[in-house]
Structure 1
Amino acid sequence: MPALSVIVSGHAPLSRLRTCLDSVTAQTPPDLDIVVTVPATDAPARALAARHELRDPRVTVVPVAPGAPPATARAAAAHAATGTHLQFLDPALDRLPEGAAAALTARLDSGDDAPDVLLTDHHHAHWWDDAAPGGSTELLAQAGTDGTTTLAARPALLDVAPLLGNRLVSARLLAEHPELVGTEGHDELYLSYAVLLLARRITATATAGLVRHKDRPSQRRAAGPEQHFAAFGQYERLHQLAHAASAPPALRARLYDRMVGDYLATLARRDELPPALLTEYFRRAARHTARFRPEGHQRPGGLDGVRHALLGRGAHLGYRLLRIANDKRRTVQAVAGARAEQAAAARTRLRYRRRLRRPVDQDLAVFSAYWGRGVHCNPAAIAAELAELAPDIRQVWIAEPDRVPLLPPGTDHVLPGTPRYWDVLARAKYLVNNVNFPNGVVKRPGTVHLQTHHGTPLKRMGVDQRDHPAAAQGLNLEALLERVDRWDYSLSANSHSTETWQRAYPAGYRSLDYGYPRNDVHYRATAADVRTARARLGIEPGRRALLYAPTHRDHQSRTRWTPRLDLPRLADALGEDTVLLVRGHYFHDRLPGPRHDRVLDVTGYDPVEELALAADALITDYSSIMFDYANLDRPIVLHTDDWETYTATRGVYFDVTAEPPGHVTRTQDELTEILRDGTWCDEAAAKQRHDFRLRFCEYDDGRAAERVVRRVFLGEGEESLPPVLPLERRTPAPTPEEATGR
């Protein structure tokens, strides 16, 4: 029997269903059992599921009757599952993290006796972030040290978010309690707690077994108030189950606290319930708070205890008055908090100054990329090479709190603003970044600051932005130049970049004309790497994958963007054998607008180099990705419908439409036509690309990271570094056609 069956069951928009199925079929265990339920009358969902079943023998599609209740579909899937443990995913909300199935299967196989429930961590996918921590990592890590435990021994496990997908339930437990998955009204909240209450053996792990899409408040409001009121029936049944299972008092008290906490949280989100229903919700919540309160239960202290008491007494007017008073108190606290932050900043500056008096740590390197977003870009490639050539140099990465769970295992890291953050910045010999370190960082004698940049410049940068207000908005050029003065080295991929950086960032650093380390993979990747990249994205053999990667417009919002192409219409025009991979700028959130089953939103997909390997061609406008992708010697099409506006608002260093890496289009119809008639990859495009590569892929040959590490970290002279290989002697990674034998 396979160790794990992943069940995908529930109604979902086609794009969400695709994302969920792709994440499951990308898992590596060969014996993974995948069961998908689809309504017999939902033709698009049925076709999508059938395609996965056709290309992946692990997939079994179970059709269900039109209008079948969720419990019926869930029960049918559970009946078809063959694994010893079942994981239930809601395709409208859930997907699996990369490698989750392998990690969880290994955890299930590591013990002598299989648990009834394996409780895992999870990540949240917000509209602005693809995966933020779920908040239970520390609790699960502590519980994981127990080996196997029980809920009675660790009632705190009830505090793990009640998501059905973050608990793997044994088939044995479900066979003993068939009513769990087959009874209507046993929804996620009930089932999540019920399996823990019924389990005799529980194992916990801090491994993330689930990514849950987190709706915005407006989306939750659109779902209607029924979702909130449904909790009353589920909590009532849970208290009945706890009583029937003779749960100990401590466990029942924890369940009660979870219930009241959920009710108060819903009341606090006052905009999610219409005013007409808010009173009714309070009344029903008050009834449960009073009815299920365990004997001798101690309410929490402080304001939470006051809210708890008011709810238990059904004092709605008192609750509302308290809320008004708290709103006023928070305003006062905000003013006081601002003053406290100023004082804390002063203390931090003092601590940092003291650390600057200590000796420089000759074997410490601090890395950062994109303002603490994690292990990415040129710094990541340099760090990987450094670990090979100079493993004695310790690496510490700067990472924002929400990026920490996404760091590679074992990555030593610091959070911005913390004492250790300032300690390592004060003492590290090497500081590597693809943007700038904060203004307060001091350049110490004997330290080395390496600026790697994160693209070849087409748009104006640095002081060259001063005549373009849209680009320079909020930019303090004097402060920028003070940061630039800390650089010892500036990395470059071509002569154009070297000259541009010297003009845009005038300072005394030394230019390293070594290539961009992040592009090394474009020469080192194998046919297997290309196939793997396409498989992870769910790109079927024989399909053409076009990567559409537009850049940001400075005169538009950083948080919201609208593609300048009608992507569903383009996908329809290009036909079934073409899939569009759409990646927004790192400023942007997910792809807005209507979904299409051959338009894949890969805005949050990392690394971007893997997207490039998977794509047969690139469509972009003015993004620096064109210079990186050109290393692969694959077709590039520029869509420049707003060239005049872009050049006027941002400013550019040269006319890329006159010296393009491929054909240039100004309308969607022109773009569609050249993608349909073969012009996109004709001889004229190849000639343009060759000339473009000669100019802009000048130093990229697959050994850029090695040159950087040997020169900057090991102190080798220029004469001993690997020479840059001429363009005609380089061999890029295989194209998808070559990798798949098409």
Structure 2
Amino acid sequence: MPRFSVIVPCFNVQSFLRECLDSLLAQSFGDFEVIAVDDCSPDGSGAILDAYAARDERVRVLHLAQNVGLGRARNAGAQLAVGDYLFFLDSDDTLTPGALAAIADRLAECGDPDVLVFDYARAYWWGGVRRNVLAHLLRATDGVFTAARLPQVLDLMMVAWNKVQRRDFVERHGFAFPPGYYEDTPWTFPVMFSAERIALLDRICVLYRQRRQGSILSTTSAKHFDVHEQYGRVFAFLDSRPELASWRPFLHRKMGEHCLDILGKPNRLPPADKPEFFRRSAELFRAHRPDEESIPPELRVLYGSWAAYLARQRAAALRRRLRAAAEKRARRTVARARLNRRLDPNLVLYSAFSHRGVLGDPAAIYHKAREIAPHLRGVWVVRDDAAGVPDGVERVAPDSRAYRQLAARAAYFVNNVPWPGALVKRPGSVHIHTHLGTPLKYMAADLLAKPGARYGLDVPRMLRQADRWDHSLVANLHSELVWERAYPCHFASARTGSPRNDVLVTASPDRGVAVRDRLGIPAGNTVVLYAPTRRDHVRGGYAERVDLARFAADLGEGHTLVVRLHPSLAAGPVRGLGLAELHRRGVLVDATDELHVEEVMLASDVLVTDYSALMFDYANLDRPIVVHADDLATYTAARGLYFDVTAEPPGHVTRDYGELAELFASGRWRDEESALARKEFRARFCAFDDGHAAERVVRTLLQGEPG
């Protein structure tokens, strides 16, 4: 008996079906059967299914004599299933690598729950990948639970394909999909209401394809009226299960929200059908109102008329337009007045990583200024959700009134990324740009020769923003030459060194102990820091060049693998593809969220990277560095490198995983050859990093002392 029965209904999906099946059959976990249901598809889907079945005995094909729709096609497949768990996979979606193995491991860990809910990411036709915005709910608990104990789990999208259900649980309750447009609604609510043991998996297992056109639920159609009948089925289910009656208020609210959402979308209903849709929604809402339920204010509109609803919507839209116009006029008036104010010679405005916090080079300069030039007033521009802002730091929100007032008067601006385009540089103000480290990969104007790498980047806009710079900080002559070429603007290069690297140069050997303790790393372990850069030529920016679970296992006892992703990937879907789950299980440590990368470096014994600029900073520690360059030719062609890092490396170079594993197994990663390469690398790229970079910036650029 297989662990999973994966049911794949197919109708008019010949363009996507092979990708779906390939993602399934290539899974590392192989204990599953595929029941592919050809729902009398008029295209070539049936022939594709037959071809796959002929090549792989795990694939069975059921050809239906007539088209029955998605729900009943799923039912037909489920009747043939013999696996422990049912997994309904839509035929235009794909599984992520390792998804079934992660699901199987979590099921075993939780003692075979009735339902396991996992995560997904939307894969857009234009190339973007965005994780489910409610992914944090999948970290709400580590054990099994009922929906009554954790009702917020029902805020996750109520579909069949983001969960697996134990087959005997489904059969015992007689769950089945009805016909219709919204067939998932009367399946998922009863399943989740009835399950006695639900578990969660914080991992992206499905890529949910977002088509440019052709998505059923995004099509303008009167078929959206089907939502009323489907919610009627769920209420009928509750009527048949008195023990579940307490769910009626919740379902009543969800129904109202769902109907108003459909009504409010511009591309769902034909305009002529909207009044009738509102009438039926209101009728259903009133018919199922629980006596004890207090109606949320935003849903009370369903007790009124269509005319009242329409008037309310139009009034709200008018208020938004008037408010936006008034704010725009006010901003213009105030901006003109502020440009006439006198600059404050002691006011310094700081920002880092697009206002993400008190971080990086600007933070090092700020702290040194407070120490040796306390008369300078340093104010940070940080978002409201910024983490780790120390107590006592004066801050303003981006684009707030206070920010605009300060920006009009500040004599100095310090940032490691360009200030927003709306900022007007006043005569006499000084902009200090710290950059994000020593450049290895092509930047700014050099990206004009790499059209793939500059996708989504407005290079001329970047150069206009760089025209504001007065000083460009550099840690070595290489950086000076590159920045002057990549940003053909009128700044002066300041050979100060990188202020954030001062701590790496001056830190005592035991500086990283506290960081290790915070990260839960056992005392005495050798810490291997793996920090890959992003791949601009790969969808989503991340390619798993190293099997992290395997690498952690091969390092063996006495070693801890610490992973830090590129900052641009931190908030994206990448960590949900397995990294977060490996961290939860203690296989490795995910240090991507650590605010100060310098502390992560200090806590490590060796760096494994590919083409990340982190290697230049890490070289200041004089600790081993390994360059894993298994895709050098591809990366160079796609993004471009200023020099061949494998010809002038900071340590050993590996070209495939076997070489990487052998390097650590043999201990050669810290031999004399590695030390010699590192010495030459440091001489070239750490030339100006002497531990006094921040002080040098404060004294020479903020206070005007001679260099």
The answer, yes or no, to whether TM exceeds 0.5 is yes
Give the aligned partner of residue 471 of structure 1. Answer: 453
User: In the TM superposition, what are the counterparts of 1:11-410 in structure 2 within 5 Å?
Assistant: 187-188=149-150, 221-222=162-163, 224-225=188-189, 229=193, 264=256, 289-293=289-293, 300=297, 304-307=299-302, 309=303, 344-345=327-328, 347-401=330-384, 403-404=385-386, 406-410=388-392
SS across alignment from 2:643: coil
1:443 aligns with 2:430: no
Mark the CA change 1:359 to 1:257 in structure 2 (over 3 Å): closer, same or farther: farther
1:509 aligns with 2:491: yes
Q: Distance in 2 between matches of 1:293 and 1:699?
A: 69
Higher deviation after alignment, 610-619 or 522-531: 522-531
1:533 CA drift (Å): 0.8
1:418 is matched by which residue type in structure 2?
A: S
Q: Distance in 1 between matches of 2:282 and 2:526?
A: 55
1:228 CA drift (Å): 6.4
1:459 aligns with 2:470: no
1:472 CA drift (Å): 2.9
Give the aligned partner of residue 651 of structure 2. Answer: 662
1:187 is matched by which residue type in structure 2?
A: R
SS across alignment from 1:591: helix
Q: Distance in 2 between matches of 1:476 and 1:220?
A: 38
Mark the CA change 1:130 to 1:680 in structure 2 (over 3 Å): closer, same or farther: farther
| Contact 2:535–2:541 (8 Å) recurs in 1 | no
1:406 CA drift (Å): 4.5
1:357 is matched by which residue type in structure 2?
A: N
SS across alignment from 2:512: helix
1:483 is matched by which residue type in structure 2?
A: Q
SS across alignment from 1:680: helix
1:529 CA drift (Å): 2.9
Aligned length: 502
| C-alpha distance after superposition, 1:495-543 (max 9, x if no partner) | 1111211222223322221111111111333344311111111111232
Give the aligned partner of residue 641 of structure 2. Answer: 652
Give the aligned partner of residue 703 of structure 1. Answer: 692
Give the aligned partner of residue 642 of structure 1. Answer: 631
Mark the CA change 1:498 to 1:184 in structure 2 (over 3 Å): closer, same or farther: closer
Q: Distance in 2 between matches of 1:666 and 1:587?
A: 25
2:149 is matched by which residue type in structure 1?
A: D
SS across alignment from 2:435: coil
Give the aligned partner of residue 628 of structure 1. Answer: 617
CA RMSD of aligned residues (A): 4.9
1:458 CA drift (Å): 0.7
Higher deviation after alignment, 342-351 or 697-706: 342-351
Q: Distance in 1 between matches of 2:524 and 2:157?
A: 38
1:494 aligns with 2:476: yes
SS across alignment from 2:482: helix
1:414 aligns with 2:396: yes
1:582 aligns with 2:582: no
1:545 aligns with 2:508: no
Q: Distance in 1 between matches of 2:526 and 2:159?
A: 37
Q: Distance in 2 between matches of 1:350 and 1:395?
A: 27
Mark the CA change 1:337 to 1:549 in structure 2 (over 3 Å): closer, same or farther: farther
Q: Distance in 1 between matches of 2:160 and 2:372?
A: 50
Give the aligned partner of residue 567 of structure 1. Answer: 548
| Contact 1:129–1:604 (8 Å) recurs in 2 | no
2:163 is matched by which residue type in structure 1?
A: A
SS across alignment from 2:452: helix
Q: Percent identity?
A: 39
| Contact 2:350–2:413 (8 Å) recurs in 1 | yes
SS across alignment from 1:671: helix
Q: Distance in 1 between matches of 2:606 and 2:633?
A: 25
| C-alpha distance after superposition, 1:15-44 (max 9, x if no partner) | xxxxxxxxxxxxxxxxxxxxxxxxxxxxx9
Mark the CA change 1:640 to 1:340 in structure 2 (over 3 Å): closer, same or farther: farther
1:573 CA drift (Å): 2.1
Q: Distance in 2 between matches of 1:579 and 1:283?
A: 61
SS across alignment from 2:689: coil
1:283 CA drift (Å): 11
SS across alignment from 2:432: strand
1:607 aligns with 2:596: yes
Mark the CA change 1:614 to 1:216 in structure 2 (over 3 Å): closer, same or farther: farther
Mark the CA change 1:304 to 1:483 in structure 2 (over 3 Å): closer, same or farther: same
| Contact 1:452–1:490 (8 Å) recurs in 2 | yes
SS across alignment from 1:396: strand
1:398 is matched by which residue type in structure 2?
A: V
1:573 is matched by which residue type in structure 2?
A: D
Which of 411, 419, 442 is 1:429 aligned to?
411
1:655 CA drift (Å): 1.1
1:340 CA drift (Å): 7.7
2:597 is matched by which residue type in structure 1?
A: V
Q: Distance in 2 between matches of 1:219 and 1:404?
A: 36
| C-alpha distance after superposition, 1:660-719 (max 9, x if no partner) | 00111111111111111111111100100010011111111222111111112222211x
Mark the CA change 1:672 to 1:359 in structure 2 (over 3 Å): closer, same or farther: same
1:593 is matched by which residue type in structure 2?
A: L
Mark the CA change 1:326 to 1:378 in structure 2 (over 3 Å): closer, same or farther: farther
Which of 593, 599, 609 is 2:577 aligned to?
593
| Contact 2:512–2:604 (8 Å) recurs in 1 | no
Mark the CA change 1:354 to 1:686 in structure 2 (over 3 Å): closer, same or farther: same
| C-alpha distance after superposition, 1:258-279 (max 9, x if no partner) | 99767755777889xxxxxxxx
1:684 is matched by which residue type in structure 2?
A: E
1:387 is matched by which residue type in structure 2?
A: R
Give the aligned partner of residue 14 of structure 2. Answer: none
Give the aligned partner of residue 111 of structure 1. Answer: none
1:368 is matched by which residue type in structure 2?
A: S
Give the aligned partner of residue 530 of structure 1. Answer: 512
**TM-score computed with the length of structure 2 as normaliser:** 0.60
SS across alignment from 1:631: helix
Give the aligned partner of residue 706 of structure 2. Answer: 717
Give the aligned partner of residue 275 of structure 1. Answer: none
1:394 CA drift (Å): 2.3
The gaps in structure 1 that reach 5 residues or longer are 1-43, 49-63, 70-91, 94-125, 133-160, 166-182, 191-211, 241-255, 272-280, 311-317, 719-742
Q: Distance in 2 between matches of 1:643 and 1:398?
A: 38
Mark the CA change 1:660 to 1:306 in structure 2 (over 3 Å): closer, same or farther: same
Q: Distance in 1 between matches of 2:560 and 2:428?
A: 51
Mark the CA change 1:510 to 1:638 in structure 2 (over 3 Å): closer, same or farther: same
1:225 is matched by which residue type in structure 2?
A: F
